[in-house]
Amino acid sequence: MKVLIVGSGGREHTLAWKIAQSPLVEKIYAAPGNGGIAEIAECVDIKDTDIKALAGFAKKESIDLTVVGPEAPLVAGIADEFEKQGSRVFGPKAGAARLEGSKVFAKEFMRRHGIPTGDFRVFTDYDRAVEQVDVFGFPVVIKADGLAAGKGVIIAEDRAEAEAALREIMMDKKFGSAGDRVLVEEFLEGTEMTMLCFVDGKTIVPMESARDYKRIFDGDRGPNTGGMGTFSPNDVYTPDIERRFKNDIMLPVLEALNREGIEYKGVLYFGLMVTRNGIKILEFNCRFGDPETQVILPRLDCDLVEVMNSVVDGRLSSQQIRWSDKSCVCVVLASGGYPGSYKKGVPIEGLDTVDRDGVLVFHAGTVLKDGRHYTNGGRVLGIAALGSDREEAREKAYRSAARVYFEGVQYRKDIAK
């Protein structure tokens, strides 16, 4: 098989690493890829949002399976385009990807079907939003409706912060047209949990649990990021929580999608909060999470390409999926200044000194030039480690993270603590 991976981040490097292990695969392409992916796959200079060029490449090269990493091309309809020309693609069509592409659509979908989520109001008018921003008290969650690279969610502690967030999103257009509509949401207290599921339209199968850390600084302080670290399994995911997730969340969502005539094929990501009043959905993503993928796929104990083929072909119910009982921890090394402005093109040192025993280095924002790696993004590397338990995995990940250096490097010291 020839496989094309669309995207350029740490998630896509992890996908390339796992797909390369399949005996079914003879050649991997990545568009556009990054400095780490370039060591596994042939990188092609096509943007992940240039759907026409990607479709043309897939046809010209007789690609057997295209795996779409990021949300933007899925929301823009890459799966529809590929299916139209008879190319096999792993990822939901645009109608299904609206669950991530529009937070308003997702919340109204959940309200229609009685699926547990926090209460919310939708605003298109700035003055009205300011007037009613305290409807749920404080803290309150303010979200841009559309895609904002994981940064369009602000938790406001008081009215001043809430008004500043609304001004940023609705008036200053920090996230462009993604802020044309805004959600003001009830703040949910509890413990966060991430569940990713394979879905083939008829069958939904959960992967292993994970926990993501969104804030930039230790102790969950500072602005939200795309994710600064993660670990799997999540000890919050007890047998009781597993039962409640499947019965109250996972299966009702699939049934609701089918009732609305939405065929969902690919990965469905549930961002969850375990509260005193049960499990509630914070958000959906329509693809593998980043950096959750970096701790989930190292624990997958079977052929990922076989699983993906079973999803595309609608035969997931007959597919055996096995998981390792090891723990995995991933620490993200980010550029100085991220999630604000940061420098690119900074040389990365020490990659060859990282432990090789169960430690995996996944490149996110890097570029390979003349045999050297340089920074090329906000989140630069994910240092993931497998261990017999979480403490061993954590110790290995941090020991290796300390050996890698680039000017301005920053990372949280409390991942999986």
Q: How confident is the model at residue 384 (pLDDT cuts 50, 70, 90)?
A: very high
Residue showing tokens 């699939």: 254
Q: Is the predicted pLDDT of residue 192 greater than 90, yes or no?
A: no
Mean pLDDT along residues 27-39: 97
- In sequence order, which residues have a C-beta less than 8 Å from that of residue 81 and are 6 or more positions away? 51, 52, 55
Instruction: List, for residues 230-282, the tens digit of each pLDDT value.
Output: 999 999 999 999 999 999 999 999 999 999 999 999 999 999 999 999 999 99
Task: Give the mean pLDDT of the chain.
Answer: 96
Residues 150, 226: Cα–Cα separation, whole Å: 5
Give the model's pLDDT for residue 266.
98
How many contiguous H segments (helices) and E segments (strands) does the chain have?
A: 13, 22
- CATH topology for 191-318 is D-amino Acid Aminotransferase; Chain A, domain 1 (3.30.470)
Give the CATH architecture of domain 2-93.
Answer: 3-Layer(aba) Sandwich (3.40)
Encoding tokens for residue 243? 């039962």
Detail the DSSP E strand segments found in 93-190: 120-123, 140-144, 153-156, 182-186
Tokens for 62, please give them. 């007789």
Collapsed DSSP state (helix, strand, coil) of residue 296: helix
- Indicate whether 152 pLDDT > 80: yes
pLDDT given at position 148: 85
Q: What is the DSSP letter of 158?
A: S
| Distance between CA atoms of residues 307 and 195, nearest Å | 17
Cβ atoms of 214 and 224 within 8 Å: the answer is: yes
Average confidence (pLDDT) over 329-358: 95
What is this structure's pTM?
0.95
168 pLDDT band, cuts 50/70/90, is: very high
Confidence of residue 151 (pLDDT cuts 50, 70, 90): confident
Question: What are the residue ranges spanned by the domains of the chain?
Answer: 2-93, 119-186, 191-318, 327-401
Domain with residues 119-186, CATH architecture: 2-Layer Sandwich (3.30)
Q: Tokens 């670990």: give the residue.
A: 231
Distance CA 171, CA 175 (A): 10
The residues facing 143 across adjacent strands are 153, 183
Q: Are 207 and 322 in contact (CB under 8 A)?
A: no
pLDDT tens column, 394-413: 999 999 999 999 999 999 99
Tell me whether domains 2-93 and 119-186 share a fold: no
Least-confidence region, from 64-78, 143-157, 352-366: 143-157
Q: What is the pLDDT of residue 223?
A: 87
Q: What is the CATH number of domain 327-401?
A: 3.90.600.10
Q: In 10 A of CB 124, how many CB atoms?
A: 12
Q: Is the pLDDT of residue 149 over 80?
A: no
Confidence of residue 9 (pLDDT cuts 50, 70, 90): very high
Closest CA to 330 of 407, 400, 406: 400
Alpha helix positions (H), 28-156 = 51-60, 71-75, 78-84, 94-101, 103-112, 126-132
144 forms beta bridges with 182
Q: Please state, in angstroms and rounded to a whole number, the distance separating the CA atoms of residues 352 and 350.
A: 5
Cβ-count burial of 129 within 10 angstroms (0-12 exposed, 13-18 middle, 19+ buried)? buried
